[in-house]
Amino acid sequence: MPELPEVETVCAGLRTALEGARLQDVTVRRHDLRRPIPEDFVNRIRGQKVLAIKRRSKYILMELDSGLCLIVHLGMSGCMRILQGNPPPPDKHDHVEFMTDRRTCIRFADPRRFGFFDIIEAGELENDPALRKLGPEPFDPGFTAPYLKSALKNKTATMKAALMDQRIVAGLGNIYVNEALFRARISPTKKAGKLSLVAAQRLVPVIVDVLNEAIASGGSSLRDHRRTDGELGYFQHNFQVYGRAGDPCPSCTTSAIRRIVQQGRSTFYCRICQK
């Protein structure tokens, strides 16, 4: 599911429910997620207060008052539900649950079990193997056209592959890479090392825009992505190319949107508008 905007939307919901609250009960119903949930997981975090909810790329970071940090990744199909009071019986994919001292229940459901939970010392965040290699956040002042051009220098991979690479820029996934390349009129098959500075100057702001718009509309959402309140996000209705194979290009209106496969994933683009 979730690319950066969806994770940011989930974080916003978690902030309201969790910041300043104490994790009174922690329940793990299945340990076999993408990374197994450690045996001592519950004991290490039960009773602790959540100081802050942060986001790095697609990772949710929960800072606890003991100096530990809970890292959560939603994988492809993970979602967080926030429920007040006594929750209904869990269904088969509700794997992890927190009950706070405010009687708020936070439920993690993940049918495909690609998500994971981890606990590290807050001071070790930048050494974490998952976080260490990440490139800049798209909203960082350091994410500029000159940065992007130099990060792509000599790369023979395609633009699609390069923008999916979290070491170049963190947080983009399949949908927003498709949308950003369309808006910047850059072909997904273009060799990344050949990107001109002018094209990079178009690309950087549209990446920021497309993510900001998705966050503003409540996190994109796919078929099965849900916000923490269980409502679907709205941005799915605004995709210009993603999932629109065969439709007329919204820009030139004469050519049809094509679907190709790159790195085993669908790419959608207009062959006329994107060079």
Nearer to DNA, 48 or 174 (CB): 174
d(CA 237, CA 233) in angstroms, rounded, equals 9
CB of 20 to DNA, least distance (A): 28
- Interface pick for DNA out of 62, 73, 138, 218 (rule CB under 7 A): 73
Q: How far apart are the first and last CA of the chain?
A: 29
Per-residue contact flags (x/-) with DNA for residues 156 to 175, judged by CB under 7 A:
xxx--x--x-x-----xxxx
Active site residue 58: yes
Nearer to DNA, 99 or 163 (CB): 163
Active site residue 265: yes
1 binds DNA (CB under 7 A): yes
User: Of residues 199-258, which lie at the interface with DNA (CB under 7 A)?
Assistant: 220-225
Sole window of 63-71, 152-160, 206-214, 248-256 interacting with DNA (rule: CB under 7 A) = 152-160
112 binds DNA (CB under 7 A): yes
Nearer to DNA, 41 or 176 (CB): 176
- Interface pick for DNA out of 31, 185, 258, 265 (rule CB under 7 A): 265
Nearer to DNA, 150 or 263 (CB): 263
CB of 38 to DNA, least distance (A): 16
Residue among 166, 275, 175 at smallest CA distance from 220: 175
Size of the site for DNA (CB under 7 A): 44
- Interface pick for DNA out of 58, 81, 95, 183 (rule CB under 7 A): 58
CB of 166 to DNA, least distance (A): 5
CB of 189 to DNA, least distance (A): 10
The DSSP annotation for the chain comes to ---HHHHHHHHHHHHHHHTT-BEEEEEES---SSSPPPTTHHHHHTTPBEEEEEEETTEEEEEETTSEEEEEE-TTT-EEEEEESSPPPP-TTEEEEEEETTSEEEEEE-TT---EEEEEEGGGGGG-HHHHT----TTSTT--HHHHHHHTTT--SBHHHHHH-TTTSSS--HHHHHHHHHHTT--TTSBGGG--HHHHHHHHHHHHHHHHHHHHTT----TT---TTSPPPSGGGG-SSTT-TTSBPTTTSSSBPEEEEETTEEEEE-TTT--
Half-sphere exposure at residue 17, Cβ-oriented, CA atoms within 13 angstroms: 24
Residues lying near DNA in the complex (CB under 7 A) are found at: 1-3, 6, 34, 57-59, 73, 75-77, 92-93, 111-114, 129-130, 154-158, 161, 164, 166, 172-175, 192-193, 220-225, 263-266
State the catalytic residues.
Answer: 2-3, 58, 265
